[in-house]
Amino acid sequence: MSTTGSNEKIFSSQTRDKIRLVLESVHTCGIKLPIVFDITIDALPILGWLESSPASCKLYWCGRDSKFEFGGTGVGFEIDQSSDGSDLNSAEAIIEASPFGGDLLFFCGQSFSGTDPTDPTDPNWEEFRSQVSMIPEMMVIRREDSFKLRFCLTLLPSDDIDCIMDRANTLVSNRSDFVIDLARLKAKRTVSEVVSIKHHPDFEGWSENIATSLMRISAGEIKKIVLARRTDICLTKKPNPVTILDQLTGENKNCYAVLFQPNPDKAFICLSPERLFRLTGPQLLTEAISSTVARGKDADDDRRLEKELVDSKKQKREHRYVVEGLGRAMRPICQADPSIGATDVLKLNRIQHLLTPVGGELKKEISGSDVVRALHPTAAVGGTPRLKAVPMIGALEPFERGWYAAPIGYVSKNRSEFAVGIRSALVHGCTISVFSGAGIVRGSSAEAEWSEIESKNILRSLLPDKAKV
C-alpha cells in the first residue's frame, strides 16, 4: 500500500457524499455512528502485521475454513456497554441505523455468563468486560485471495463534514507502507522458559468435582455437566500473544483462530474447533461437537480409536445431550423444527470428536443476538438441563471463566458467525492461563477426564516435556 502526503486530500467527492449521508443520520437519530473507508492492498500476512504493530489494542479472527480473516488495531468505534446486556443487539441496531450499514463489520465477544461477574471478580478479566462490540480503527480484511485495508471513524452529533474529512485524511495519510519481513520478525522472537505450572483445581480437587457431579447425575438432578480446569503457566518473560497464536495456527487445522488484546498486558487467544452458529440471512447453521478420543499413532490406530468413539455408549450419550439441547434451543426461534444432519467425526491435530450439523430458518422477528441468547451455553460447554447444570459449574470451578467457552465472533448486515471460545488461554503479564474442559456424564471417571483435558491444552506443543504435567 502506498500512502499520500499529509497535505493532499485522499478521498474523492463520493467519499464526502458518503460522510454527509451518515452525518445526516447521526444528527437525525442523535446517536454516534461509525463510518469506514476501504483501500485495496496487496496480499499481507495479517498475523505478521499484528505482531509487528506497536498498537496497544489488537484483535484477530480467522474462520475455520481459513477463507475469511481479519485483524485490527486501535478502536475506531465501540458500542457503550448497556445496562441490560444488549450490546449485540445494539451492533445490529447500529448497522440498521447507518445508510451504509452493509459496509460495517463488528468484532463481538462476551463473558461466559454474559453479564458482569460479581463477588468476587477476577482482576485478570477486568479489561474484557461482559460484552464487547467494536470496529478497529485500522483493519486488514482478507476474503480468500482478496485483501483490503479499512479505516474507521466515529461520527458524533457535534461533528461537521469538514471536520470528518480532515480526520479521515489524517488517519490514512499518517500510515506508512505495509512491508512485513516475516523471516526477520520470526528471528527476533525470544524463547521464554517455564518457571512453574499450577492447575486449578489440582487432580485431587478435580476428582472431588467429578464425584460430586456423578452423585448429582445419579440423583437425577442433571444429565451432564461440563467442568473445566485452569492451568497457570508462569514464564521468565512476558510473551507476545500474537506470536503464540501464530505458532499455534499451523498445527490447529479445522479451528477458528481468535485474539482479543485490549491492552499490551492482557490478551485472550483461542483455537476453537466449535462453531456456535453461522447466520446467512435467515439461514441458521449450528452444530453439536462433543465426545473425545485421541488421534492414533498411525492410520490403523487412528481408525481403531475412531471406531471406539463412534461405538462407545458413553460417548454417544454425551453427544446426544448436545444434539437434543440444540434442538430444544432452536425450536422457539426457527420457523420449523430444525434439521439434524448425519453424525461424522471431526479430526483435529491431537484429538477427534463427534460432529452433527443442525440447521433451520429463523423466524422473521428473531435477531442474531436472540440466537446467541438461545444457544449459549450449549450442552457442550455447560451441561443439561442448562438451568441446573450451569449454576453448578460456578459452584464447583475455583476460577472465573471470563471469556472461556463464551461466544466470540463478528456481526455484519448479511452474515454473522460465532465460535465457542474453548481451547483458549488468557495471557496476563508473564503468565498464561490455559483453559480446557470435559463433559461429565454417567460412566465418566476422574482419570479419563483429566487425561482428556490434558490433551486439550492448546499450549501443550510449545511446552518442554518436563513441563507437561
Domain boundary among 117, 142, 176: 176
Residue 298, Ramachandran bin (φ over 0: left; ψ between -120 and 50: alpha; else beta): beta
Nearest by Cα to 72 from 124, 129, 136: 136
Cell 476422574 locates to 446
State the DSSP H helix or E strand holding residue 448, giving kind and residue range, or none if neither: helix 446-455
Domain assignment present for residue 208? The answer is yes
Q: Cα separation of 58 and 137, whole Å?
A: 10
- Stretches where the chain sits below pLDDT 50 are 1-8, 83-87, 116-120, 466-469
280 & 403 share domain: yes
- Whether residue 3 is contained in a domain is answered as no
Are 126 and 204 contained in the same domain? Answer: no
Going by their DSSP bridges, the two strands 131-135 and 224-235 should be labelled as unpaired
Integer Cα distance of 456 and 422 in angstroms:
9
Would residue 184 count as lying in a domain? Answer: no
- Helix ranges (H only) for 8-137 are 13-29, 46-52, 87-97
Partners of residue 412 on adjacent β-strands: 105
What pTM, to 2 d.p., does this model score?
Answer: 0.91
3-state secondary structure of 260: strand
- Domain membership of residue 416 (yes or no) is yes
Q: Strand, coil or helix: what is 458?
A: coil
CB neighbourhood size of 179 (10 A): 9
* Residues 17, 22, 25: CA angle, nearest 5 degrees: 130
Question: 117: which 3 cell numbers?
Answer: 461477574
Residues 210 and 358 grouped into a single domain: yes
Nearest Cα residue to 435 out of 456, 450, 452: 456
Is residue 221 domain-shared with residue 128, that is, in the same domain? no
- In which residue are the cell numbers 477426564 written? 449
> In terms of domains, do 140 and 210 share one?
no
The confidence score (pLDDT) of residue 2 equals: 38
**Of the residues 148, 176, 204, which one is the last residue of a structural domain?**
176
Q: Is residue 313 part of a domain?
A: yes
Looking at the fold, whether 60 and 147 belong to one and the same domain comes out as yes
Question: Is residue 331 assigned to a domain?
Answer: yes
Q: What is the pLDDT of residue 174?
A: 67
Whether 432 is in a domain gets the answer: yes
Last residue of a domain, one of 176, 207, 237: 176
Q: Supply the DSSP symbol for 296.
A: P
Name the nearest CA neighbour of 435 among 270, 304, 265. 270
Q: What is the residue range of 280's domain?
A: 196-467
- The reply to whether 332 and 429 lie within a common domain is yes
Question: What is the predicted pLDDT for the residue at 15?
Answer: 81
Within a domain: 2? no
Residues 202 and 129 in one domain: no
Q: What is the structure's pLDDT at 3?
A: 38
205 in the same domain as 273? yes
What amino acid occupies position 444?
S
DSSP 23-46: HHHHHHHTS-EEEEEEEEE----H
Does residue 231 share a domain with residue 118?
A: no
pLDDT of residue 186: 74
CA–chain centroid gap for 185, Å, is 26
Q: What Å distances lie between residue 76 and 12, 176, 276, CA to CA?
A: 21, 18, 27
**Does residue 265 share a domain with residue 201?**
yes
Q: Give yes or no: residues 137 and 259 share one domain.
A: no
Q: How many independent structural domains does the chain possess?
A: 2
For position 385, which CATH number holds? Answer: 3.60.120.10
